[in-house]
Amino acid sequence: MTENIYGFSAQTLKGETVSLEAYRGRVVLIVNTASKCGFTPQYAGLEDLYKKHQDQGFVILGFPCNQFGGQEPGDAAEIGEFCHLNYGVTFPMFSKIDVNGSDAHPLFQYLVERLPGTLGRAIKWNFTKFLVNAEGIPLTRYGSITSPKQIEKDIVKLLEASHPVHGS
């Protein structure tokens, strides 16, 4: 099994393939998202976290998924427009993927292998979040009901550990 996320790549909403190597050295929060879910308002909290901490080496990667109640029916253009217009999302968003089953994106196969949840390896619902340290190693998995604000303290700890502030 690979030791970190950097060996994976994914397609952006614009269809460009991006290697997760591009996020080396950053603290990463990977989230499976949906536009028509009860948890969809978490986009606002995620964007707040991103804006607040991106300059310290933090990034959020959003992965739309339609596997839970058909709550992400749109195509890439519709998803991008929805996220931007409704929540002002500026963090990277990727093309719609599966997160469970034999067609699950390899990144999510890796994440659930490293961090099984209460249902074993399966992802239970939209807005499951995986916190990855600056070395690309997944450390913590959060369920849908965990708000972005609740995760902030863990993000700050990782940012401080990866970018220590030196005294004067």
Strands 58-64, 27-33: pairing kind: parallel
Residue 12 predicted with pLDDT over 80: yes
Instruction: Specify if 43 maps to a domain.
Output: yes
Are 90 and 47 contacting, i.e. CB atoms less than 8 angstroms apart?
A: yes
Are 11 and 105 contacting, i.e. CB atoms less than 8 angstroms apart?
A: no
Mean pLDDT, the chain, integer: 90
Kindly indicate the confidence band of residue 153, based on its pLDDT and cuts at 50, 70 and 90: very high
- Percent of the chain scored above 70 by pLDDT? 94
Residue 167 predicted with pLDDT over 60: no
Instruction: Specify if 11 maps to a domain.
Output: yes
Q: Is 37 a catalytic residue?
A: yes
Instruction: Specify if 167 maps to a domain.
Output: no
- Per residue in 58-87, pLDDT (tens digit) is 999 999 999 998 898 888 888 888 888 888
Instruction: Specify if 134 maps to a domain.
Output: yes
Instruction: Specify if 72 maps to a domain.
Output: yes
**CATH number of domain containing 29:** 3.40.30.10
Residue 16 predicted with pLDDT over 50: yes
Supply the DSSP symbol for 98: B
Identity of residue 41: P
- Percent of the chain scored above 90 by pLDDT? 67
Are 124 and 108 contacting, i.e. CB atoms less than 8 angstroms apart?
A: no
Instruction: Specify if 25 maps to a domain.
Output: yes
> Model-level pTM greater than 0.75?
yes
Instruction: Specify if 151 maps to a domain.
Output: yes
What are the residues whose beta carbons fall under 8 Å from the beta carbon of 108, sequence distance 6 or more? 32, 63, 97, 98, 99, 100, 123
The position carrying tokens 């009860």 is 38
Residue 11 predicted with pLDDT over 60: yes
User: Among 82, 49, 52, which residue's Cα sits nearest to residue 64?
Assistant: 82
User: Among 144, 150, 139, which residue's Cα sits nearest to residue 118?
Assistant: 144
Contacts 24+ apart (CB under 8 A), 121-125: 123/32, 123/99, 125/37, 125/39, 125/68
Catalytic residue among 28, 37, 46, 151: 37
Instruction: Specify if 21 maps to a domain.
Output: yes
Q: What is the span of the domain harbouring residue 116?
A: 5-162
Q: What is the pLDDT, as a whole number, of residue 168?
A: 41
Kindly indicate the confidence band of residue 164, based on its pLDDT and cuts at 50, 70 and 90: low
**Number of domains the chain contains:** 1
